[in-house]
Amino acid sequence: MSALRLKIIGYSTLCSKRLLTNSISNSKYISSLSSCNTNLKQRTGLYIPNYYPARYSSAAVENQAETPKTTSSRSKETLKGSSEKREFQAETRMLLDIVARSLYSDKEVFIRELISNASDALEKFRYLNVSSAPDALKLLETDRPLEIRLSTDKQNRTLTFQDSGIGMTKDELNQNLGTIARSGSKSFIEEIKKQGKDQASSIIGQFGVGFYSAFMVADKIEVYTKSSVEGSQGYKWSSDGSGVYEVQEADGVAIGTKIIVHLKTECREYADDEIVKNIIKKYSNFVSSPIFLNDEQVNQIKPLWLMEPKEVTHEQHVEFYRFISQSYDKPRYTLHYKTDVPLSIRAILYVPEGKPGLFELSRDSDVGVALYSRKILIKSKAENILPKWLRFVKGVVDSEDIPLNLSRELLQNSALIVKLKTVLTNRFLKFMIDMSNKNPSDYEAFYKEYSIFLKEGIVTSQSSIEKEEIAKLLRFESSKLPNGQRTSLSEYATRQKEDQRTIYYLAAPSRELAESSPYYESLKKRDVEVLFCYEMYDELVLLELKEFNNRKLVSIENDMQTTAAEEPDNIIAGKIFDVKTTSKLETHPCVITVQEMAAARHFIRTQAQNLSEENRFALLRPHLEINVKHPIIKKLHKLMSSDPELAKMISEQLFSNAMVTAGLILDPRNLIVHINELLVKALEKH
């Protein structure tokens, strides 16, 4: 890299598995479920974990026809017998302290966590219910509606969660809510012990403890539950999170689980139905089971990304796009993408129809893609899964493979996330390349509005492979095509002569100026195609790209430059560092060449005003190439002896004209004074 480029580029650079709520303690139960799962997997091809507590994928459970009926959210449970008081495990107490005090940055996520647990319970019941294994468990009320119901009570300051899922036995209550029986949570605590509580934030990994997040807002939690297995007894579990909990038998308990969160005074806003509704819509709008709040269903929109692409209509895509983007236009392009290799990905990505606003153009603007895991929102604006230059893309990505932190609020910086980003980016680029080839006129309309993002991608990407893929989407006018018609670099390459391994380009404000440029003369005469760059950053993009399809990208201004003298003379007041003759010019008397002309022009536009004229020219080191056959140059040679003062003025003006033509003088108005002086001097002779 040249010294000039190094100097100039230095100045200017373009600018959440969770703690599961159910476990099975006797081996027959586990064996039965394993058999059920294996049978179902063989019949459906679905992935079903063999160990019951593992979280099921809800990707294949869609749109069950269920009549929305009220379950037992208003049931009055009655306690019987005496309660059994137990202490939490020491590790559980530590876990409660960490989760409730330091893990979640936004307390509202406890609603998301409890709904997610309820969804798990429903999914587990669904799988058991459809199993036809000989030793399948006998389940109660198998025709009950599978739903999640929430109810608010401002007066009593409570928020209640009710699901009609698998429910829990007494042993499962003690395992799931009183001890840390999950290896993931154990590992978490062991790591805490090693590094200390103060390091919790940095070592929180893939451990699910969502239920305990409710203690952030609760001074007491009551859980009523009854297992779906025939012959099960109902129970009540309660705790204030201080170190002990109570378990007691209860009658009148509906099958499933009901959690009553008694809110702290300072958290009473979570008993407001409008606030809770907005939180449900924010995080859990795409849970497959219906969610009711005070008997009104909240989640109405289907998670389209889990459906087969051919089953989704254009109208559904428009509605879904408007919902996730909070806009009123339509998607210009729609990529509905599903794959299981190398990662499990279900995604829908949209390119907006509307023109990007000024805020979207800024690199500080938010990204438009939300990240889900099994239809539960992880992060609404997931910066890590697409590169920054694709911030104009709207959509949803759902992956079961992503590593999440305990609260799902921050993605781990892992190889899997990098892989997810790479897979999505490559797939989107392939999609856009296909679209550009299938319908060039539609792509031209897109390019006019969004080309700045593509160019940013080339400048900022660290991958040469990615740069070249983005480059396939670039479009430029060409000397071989009519005014206004653009071509791709790939198309340019197909028109090249067999011996030409260079792609030439020329930067100019307009086609007229490009075609009249002295730099274009030589290649025009040789019938070599030249791409015209009119936009401000086109030159820097091609300079950064360097080559395409094993062809070098060369500015014709640089192509004109020949070997410079070792110690060039300072000819015009320290501005020119070399003068030499050229045979490439015909109609122009002279031309300026500098190393890396694109970088030089960008430097002039952004940084030159901060430097003195002397330092400016010291960095640029312009070379003047003259056409000795031009009449002006011929007469100037004679004038050097007869009128050296006028010859000097003409030489300076020729230099200024060449600098303007090269785009190295932004405001030529500053030359007017010198032009007038030259005219006066010339008129003195007549």
> Rounded mean pLDDT of 456-463?
94
Residue 617 labelled as part of a binding site = no
DSSP state, 20? P
> Rounded mean pLDDT of 431-456?
96
Note the Cα 257 to chain centre separation in Å: 37
**320 near 304, Cβ under 8 Å?**
yes
Question: Rg of the chain over CA atoms, in angstroms?
Answer: 35
Which pLDDT belongs to residue 648?
Answer: 86
Give the span between the Cα atoms of 484 and 482, in whole angstroms. Answer: 6
DSSP state, 404? B
Give the span between the Cα atoms of 413 and 385, in whole angstroms. Answer: 11
Residue 257 labelled as part of a binding site = yes
Instruction: Determine which of 71-80, 89-98, 341-350, 590-599 has the lowest per-residue pLDDT on average.
Output: 71-80
pLDDT in tens, 43-66: 333 333 332 333 323 333 333 333
pLDDT in tens, 534-572: 987 898 899 999 999 999 999 887 765 543 333 234 346
Which pLDDT belongs to residue 177?
Answer: 84
Instruction: Determine which of 254-258, 401-405, 660-664 has the lowest per-residue pLDDT on average.
Output: 401-405
Residue 408 labelled as part of a binding site = yes
Domains in the chain, start-ordered, CATH in brackets? 27-297 (3.30.565.10), 304-436 (3.30.230.80), 578-683 (1.20.120.790)
For residue 515, name the pLDDT band (cuts at 50, 70, 90).
very high
Which pLDDT belongs to residue 573?
Answer: 55
Which pLDDT belongs to residue 576?
Answer: 76
Residue 297 labelled as part of a binding site = no
Give the span between the Cα atoms of 649 and 654, in whole angstroms. Answer: 9
Look over the chain and give the mean of its residue pLDDT values, rounded to a whole number. 78
Sign of CA dihedral 286, 290, 291, 295: positive
> Rounded mean pLDDT of 357-367?
71
3-class secondary structure, 409: coil
pLDDT in tens, 142-152: 778 899 999 99
Residue 643 labelled as part of a binding site = no
pLDDT in tens, 149-205: 999 999 999 999 999 999 999 998 888 887 654 434 455 555 555 555 444 433 333
pLDDT in tens, 267-291: 999 999 999 999 999 888 888 889 9
Which pLDDT belongs to residue 135?
Answer: 52
Strand residue runs (E) in 510-564: 530-533, 547-548, 551-555
Contacts of 193-200 with C-beta under 8 Å, sequence gap 24+, read: 197/94, 197/97, 197/98, 200/98, 200/102, 200/103
Which pLDDT belongs to residue 263?
Answer: 96
- Residue of 384 and 249 predicted with greater confidence: 249
**131 near 38, Cβ under 8 Å?**
no
For residue 460, name the pLDDT band (cuts at 50, 70, 90).
very high
**152 near 273, Cβ under 8 Å?**
yes
Q: Which helix (H) or strand (E) holds 219?
A: strand 218-226
Which pLDDT belongs to residue 398?
Answer: 92
**238 forms bridges with which residues in the sheet?**
222, 246
Residue 384 labelled as part of a binding site = no
Which pLDDT belongs to residue 242?
Answer: 83
Residue 168 labelled as part of a binding site = yes
For residue 531, name the pLDDT band (cuts at 50, 70, 90).
very high
Tokens matching residue 527: 């019938």
DSSP string, 525-539: HTT--EEEE-STTHH
Instruction: Determine which of 157-166, 333-342, 501-510, 519-528 has the lowest per-residue pLDDT on average.
Output: 519-528
For residue 425, name the pLDDT band (cuts at 50, 70, 90).
very high
pLDDT in tens, 487-498: 999 999 999 988
| % of the chain with per-residue pLDDT over 90 | 38
- The answer on pLDDT for 603 being more than 90 is no
Residue 561 labelled as part of a binding site = no
**53 near 22, Cβ under 8 Å?**
yes
Which pLDDT belongs to residue 5?
Answer: 43
Tokens matching residue 600: 């030089």
- The answer on pLDDT for 17 being more than 50 is no
Residue 640 labelled as part of a binding site = no
**561 forms bridges with which residues in the sheet?**
none
Residue 238 labelled as part of a binding site = no
Which pLDDT belongs to residue 105?
Answer: 62
Residue 601 labelled as part of a binding site = no
Q: Are strands 551-555 and 502-507 parallel, antiparallel or unpaired?
A: parallel
pTM over 0.85? The answer is no
Which pLDDT belongs to residue 65?
Answer: 35
Length of the chain in residues, anyone?
686
Give the span between the Cα atoms of 184 and 18, in whole angstroms. Answer: 9
Amino acid letter for position 8: I
For residue 74, name the pLDDT band (cuts at 50, 70, 90).
low
DSSP string, 162-192: EE-S----HHHHIIIIIS--SHHHHHHHHHH
Residue 353 labelled as part of a binding site = no
Which pLDDT belongs to residue 600?
Answer: 77
Helix intervals (H) in 380-439: 415-438
> Rounded mean pLDDT of 228-247?
91
For residue 620, name the pLDDT band (cuts at 50, 70, 90).
confident
Residue 210 labelled as part of a binding site = yes
